[in-house]
Amino acid sequence: MRIPQLLAALVLCIALPLEALAMTQINSVRLWRAPDNTRLVFDLTGPVEHSVFTLSAPDRIVIDIKKTQLSTQLAGLTGGKSPITQVRTGNQGADELRIVLDISEQVTPKSFTLAPNQQYGHRLVVDLFDVGANPPTPHVAHASTRQPLTTTAPIPTAKLSKLPASGKRDIVIAIDPGHGGEDPGAIGPGGLREKDIVLMIAKELQRQINAEKGFRAELVRTGDYFIPLRRRTEIARKKGADLFVSVHADAAPRAAAFGASVFALSDSGATSETARWLADSENRSDLIGGAGNVKLHDKDAMLAGVLLDLSMTASLSSSLDVGQKVLSNMGRITPLHKKRVEQAGFMVLKSPDMPSILVETGFISNPGESKKLSNRSHQQALARSIHNGIRQFFQQNPPPGSYVAWLRDSGKLAIGPREHVVRSGESVSLLAQRYQVSPAQLRQANKLKSDALKVGQILTVPATTLAGQ
């Protein structure tokens, strides 16, 4: 054999095993079931090219992944509410893996890949949307390409809850347990996961609210599955929410950090370094959980937008108001990180048509708070304090046509003592008129020696009966 031919043979012998070593490996597969879709997540050792298509008679989903090998068992993907009845694998040529999913009903598949982040490596995500579900439009958006929302952009209107025959509708509270599914949120001592704790608190809050006539609570996330941030406000809007409450229990850069917080949206920077850090952390949730494609047309342009426009002014004012009431009530049962509502650019709060707050029930990274957060009685107390703040806000600001508005207008709504945070332009006489108390009562309740008020000052408003405001 000539020298060139020998070298070529040696190169061929060496190249074959190197090519095999270069194959991407599938190390694990996870399945998450949501109310309207099933999510498959493939953990990969590197980036891949793939294609997904459907076959009928019988119904099947076919996933072809180039230059990839399966290094795990595809177990736990069938049964329950999953439409997948059987999983089969094979090879298409020498370097393409084929995965076939036998399904019990027709679904609409959507797929995308995710680059590594702080919690996961490369991933391939395949979402199977149920019949009647609304899968996202395949239009990928990046923050750098988004345009600020102008006042000419379509502004979505909230779908009000259905009016009963009496015209006294329920006030609807959308409760959003943060994280879920692929995104566990913060991890506390002993592996305590934020997504589990906040779901328990949210369910308790829903139970308490639903026990009160005139109110109805709807959970945005009802189980352990992931919902993209923009989709959460969309779900709340479709449920006709009058208020959006996102519940969290985050970590902090310092394990010693402690205390509950309440946040509203900011269009001009965070009010503290902690607020900025938490907002940045929460806004990365889509990268961890896998948001995939985002549509930017029609009403979703607002959800994908960056800042508030003029329509947000009234909503933001109400958010600060209800947030302060929730925070004051929480301060009675747990230490507070800050005594005022903080503001930062939380993406999940960017909605112009309903007040929105984010409640940090405590820092799960703090060993003491982590222990309390996992305690059932403390969860109930936290839920009760949030509920009290929400009740106080809507007793003072009942939506037209609601049962609570009817109580107020009938003179049947007794309001106990409450707090008010002074804003620019407010005076003792103005607040006395608003809360239907005399200026003397307001001065006496707060031991005021004059009518001078400071912005940010917290006043106690005496008990009264609101009627016909």
Kindly list the structural domains of the chain, giving each domain's residue range(s) and its CATH number in brackets, ordered by start. 25-129 (2.60.40.3500), 153-396 (3.40.630.40), 411-466 (3.10.350.10)
- Do 288 and 119 touch, CB atoms closer than 8 A? yes
Percentages helix, strand, coil for the chain (3-state, rounded to 5) are: 30, 25, 45
Distance CA 367, CA 189 (A): 6
Write the single-letter amino acid at 383: A
One-letter amino acid of 77:
L
- Residues 336 and 338: their CA atoms lie apart, in Å, by 5
**Alpha helix stretches (DSSP H) within 159-311:** 194-210, 229-238, 273-283, 285-289, 300-304
Three-state SS for 255?
coil
> In which residue ranges of the chain is pLDDT below 50?
1, 6, 8-16, 138-165, 293-310, 467-469
Q: Which pLDDT value is given to residue 143?
A: 31
- What pLDDT does residue 351 have? 78
pLDDT attached to residue 5? 52
Return the pLDDT at 432.
87
Element (H, E) at 379: helix 376-396
- What pLDDT, on a 0 to 100 scale, did the predictor assign at position 307? 41
Q: What is the pLDDT of residue 416?
A: 67
Sheet with strand 122-129: strands edge to edge: 68-70, 24-33, 37-44, 122-129, 108-114
Which H/E stretch holds residue 330? helix 312-330
> Angle at CA 224, nearest 5°, toward 222 and 225?
95
